[in-house]
């Protein structure tokens, strides 16, 4: 049998992301493969710009997840005043000035001082979804060709290089993320071995004992870590997990 890491993701607020359209950023019930890659990469001490290492890690992971407690969705409405030509920090770690354009319609105000003095501005709005009081269990296995080991990942989660969060930096876990190590033949069997009932999602594989009512679909949850863009999808199955541990 193969070994599987068992993680518990529980927090007052968490966000698993989803396909963002315009200014609305939804959340799924389950973490994406790219999110788990980022979580483990953070624990291992990888940097954001370690694209080769993060891509290799993502390619080696096999994940499945289970909703142990369904939380409620809330939307965070975020507003920022943006000034014409104002410099801002980017994810690459370098400041970049915004272009001037007709969108900056609001005239400058007397209280604008310093770098903002005399500049037109606009209000940038976006919505970000969160799950409240949600709990997800995750099992993580490795591809046969993996160079990282379950022991490596366990050690990193027990003593992470940096603080870990669930989706966004404000989403701090309320219990230790590492829960244990399971032995199972498949991702579905590993979910069942947790012994917690709920709706689960696992990668498609031949000759699985798929529960009644399960459905198969594509989930766009991969990231190209070399380009920094989200791209790619997996075929997964979603269905009920009975939780009897069998």
Residue with tokens 């770690």: 93
Region label for 150, one of left (φ > 0), alpha (ψ between -120 and 50) or beta (otherwise)? alpha
Pairing of strands 72-83, 121-142: antiparallel
Query: How many residues appear in the chain?
Result: 246
Average pLDDT over residues 161-187: 95
Distance of alpha carbon 148 from the chain centroid: 20
Which structure tokens are listed for 55? 């891509």
Cβ atoms of residues 35 and 174 within 8 Å? no
- Listed residue (1, 32, 20) closest to 203, CA to CA: 32
What pLDDT does 81 receive? 84
Residue 238 has pLDDT above 60, yes or no: yes
> What is the mean predicted confidence (pLDDT) over 128-157?
96
Q: What is the pLDDT of residue 245?
A: 63
Helix (H) / strand (E) element for 154: namely helix 150-158
> What pLDDT, in 10s, does the model give residues 33-76?
999 999 999 999 999 889 999 999 999 999 999 999 999 999 99
pLDDT of residue 205: 75
Angle at 160 between CA 155 and CA 162, to 5 degrees: 165
Reported confidence tier of residue 1, pLDDT bands at 50, 70, 90: confident
Q: Do residues 135 and 66 touch, judged by C-beta distance below 8 A?
A: no
pLDDT the model gives residue 241 = 94
Res 225: pLDDT:
93
Please, what are the domains in the chain? Answer: 2-74+130-241 (3.30.70.2660), 77-127 (no CATH)
pLDDT in tens, 116-137: 888 888 888 889 999 999 999 9
> Is the predicted pLDDT of residue 246 greater than 70, yes or no?
no
| pTM score of the predicted model | 0.87
Q: Name which residue leads in pLDDT, 10 or 80.
A: 10
Closest CA to 176 of 192, 164, 186: 164
Centre a 10 Å sphere on the Cβ of residue 27 and count the other Cβ atoms it contains: 22
Name the percent of the chain lying above pLDDT 90.
Answer: 65
């Amino acid at each position: 049998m193969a070994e599987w890491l068992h993680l518990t993701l529980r927090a007052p607020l968490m966000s698993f992301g989803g396909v963002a359209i315009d200014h609305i950023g939804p959340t799924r019930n389950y973490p994406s493969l790219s999110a788990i890659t980022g979580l483990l990469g953070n624990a291992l001490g990888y940097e954001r710009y370690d694209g080769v290492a993060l891509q290799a890690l993502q390619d080696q992971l096999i994940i499945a997840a289970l909703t142990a407690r369904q939380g409620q969705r809330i939307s965070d409405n975020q507003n920022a005043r943006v000034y014409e030509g104002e410099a801002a920090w980017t994810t690459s770690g370098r400041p970049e000035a915004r272009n001037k354009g007709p969108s900056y319609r609001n005239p400058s105000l007397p209280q604008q001082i310093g770098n903002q003095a005399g500049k037109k501005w606009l209000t940038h709005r976006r919505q970000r979804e969160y799950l409240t009081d949600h709990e997800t269990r995750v099992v993580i296995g490795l591809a046969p060709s993996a160079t990282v080991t379950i022991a490596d990942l366990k050690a990193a989660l027990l003593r992470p290089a940096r603080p870990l969060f669930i989706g966004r930096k404000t989403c701090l876990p309320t219990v230790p993320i590492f829960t244990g190590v399971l032995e199972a033949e498949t991702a579905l069997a590993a979910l069942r071995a947790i012994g917690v009932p709920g709706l689960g999602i696992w990668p498609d594989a031949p000759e699985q004992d798929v529960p009644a009512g399960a459905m198969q679909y594509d989930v766009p949850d991969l990231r190209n870590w070399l380009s920094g863009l989200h791209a790619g999808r997996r075929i997964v199955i979603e269905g009920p997990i009975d939780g009897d541990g069998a």
